[in-house]
Amino acid sequence: MLSELTMHPDSSVDMRDALFDEIYRIGESDQNVVFLTDDMDAFSLRRFKQDMPNQFINIGVAEQNMINIATGLAMCEKTVFTYGIASFVTTRCFEQIKVNLCSLNLPVTIIGTGPGFSFGFDGPTHHATMDLAIMRSLPELTIYNPSDSPLATTCAQMAYEASGPVYVRLDKGTFPVLGDGLADHTKGYRVIRPLRETNIVSTGFMSSQAVQVAYKLEEFGMKVGVVDLFRPKPVSDDFADQILGKSKRIVTMEDSSVTGGIGSLVSDLASELGTGIPIARLGVQDKQFITYGEREWFHEINGLDVDSLVETMTRLMKR
């Protein structure tokens, strides 16, 4: 049960600390690793700054300039990590990422914290609901959206080993550990609840929601599988056959816009595969929210809270 998952020792580790602690270990062994931040802080970063001051630069609130500096460092054979709020390091820096990083295929990792409505009380400037669609449009970019702390650690290592640009869509806070550590992470997805006729494909924060939904549905005699698509780009070559090809219905769940997110991605794959299976896309409405509030409230008005998701899934499965 989900309550058992939360007892896992890694559940108490903030996802940001898990990722930054791994980058710290990488930086200790490789002096060519440089970390840039746009005045964003995290507990684990303070240690990096203190112990490796020559590998750490606080650019200040100047995200576009941060990408430009990262470009220059990468062209000097440095492996660069940049860090800022997800809505700013993507939309504000899109041209710099496209022209500088992607066109030259440089090893720069962009870490965007606070996806979806994580910074709900900071308003529409901080809502990161379009970042996934925007970043998916860049051909050379790899995207990771980890759903728990151990996976965040793995994503840090995979980003370090990447030969080109990477975007890590990083949540903040502690989350249940969903995997058993045995999954092949090179595939970019993992089955965290056995496949059934109806399967949920989720990513990031919504994978924890999906597991809770699956447990609640099971109480009503309905069993669903859950697949955590933690690398939305590139999608593994076998994802269509191994997941879509073995499903009779797919429901996608994401805290990003239904336009251009994983719902669009899965629909495209299903169309190419020619399965004809019904696909329900559950995500943030295709609109801007010029409002302020708790993340949970934003999820409720978008039907992404657990109770609403259970109701929607029940209705879909009874059709």
Determine the Cα–Cα distance for residues 54 and 280; give it in Å rounded to an integer. 49
Is residue 29 domain-shared with residue 148, that is, in the same domain?
yes
Residue 43: count of CB within 10 angstroms of its CB: 11
Query: What's the mean pLDDT when you consider all of the chain?
Result: 93
Q: Say what percent of the chain tops pLDDT 90.
A: 88
The reply to whether 164 and 206 lie within a common domain is no
What distances in angstroms separate CA 163 from CA 70, 141, 190, 317, one per listed residue? Answer: 15, 10, 23, 43
Q: Cα 130 from chain centroid?
A: 12
Q: What's the whole-model pTM score?
A: 0.94
Residues in Cβ contact with 151 at an 8 Å cutoff, skipping those fewer than 6 apart = 178, 179, 185, 230
pLDDT band at 11 (very low <50, low <70, confident <90, very high): low
pLDDT of residue 4: 37
Interacting residues of 96 by C-beta distance below 8 A, sequence separation 6+: 64, 67, 68, 71
Chain segment 88-127, per-residue pLDDT in tens? 999 999 999 999 999 999 999 999 999 999 999 999 999 9
Residues 192 and 137 in one domain: no
User: Directed axis angle between helix 15-29 and helix 43-51, to 10°?
Assistant: 10
Give the model's pLDDT for residue 179.
Answer: 77
Judge whether 106 lies within some domain: yes
Domain of 20, in residue numbers: 2-170
- Residue 291 in tokens: 């409002």
What confidence score (pLDDT) does residue 6 get?
A: 40
d(CA 206, CA 148): 11
Residue whose C-alpha is closest to residue 252's, from 289, 201, 292, 182: 201
Task: Please name the residues in contact with 136: beta carbons below 8 A apart, sequence gap of 6 or more.
Answer: 143, 232, 233, 260, 261, 265
Q: Which residues pair with 37 in a beta bridge?
A: 58, 83
Q: Is residue 179 part of a domain?
A: no
Give per-residue pLDDT as tens, 18-40: 999 999 999 999 999 999 999 98
Instruction: Give the number of residues written for the chain.
Output: 319
The average pLDDT across 1-27 equals 74
Residue 242 has pLDDT above 80, yes or no: yes
**pLDDT over 90 (residue 217):** yes
Within this chain, do residues 37 and 166 fall inside the same structural domain, yes or no?
yes
SS3 220: coil
**Total domains present in the chain:** 2
pLDDT above 70: percentage of residues in the chain:
96
Is the Cβ–Cβ distance between 302 and 293 less than 8 Å?
no
The answer to the question of residue 92 being in a domain is yes
User: For residue 207, what is the DSSP state?
Assistant: H
Same domain, 163 and 228: no
- 251: which strand partners? 200, 280
Residue 2's pLDDT band (cuts 50, 70, 90): very low
User: The CATH number of the domain where 252 resides is what?
Assistant: 3.40.50.920
List of residues 6+ apart from 12 with CB closer than 8 A: 174
pLDDT of amino acid 180: 73
Write the pLDDT tens digit of every residue in 74-91. Answer: 999 999 999 999 999 999
Least trusted range by pLDDT, from 8-22, 139-153, 166-180: 8-22
In a domain, 200, yes or no: yes
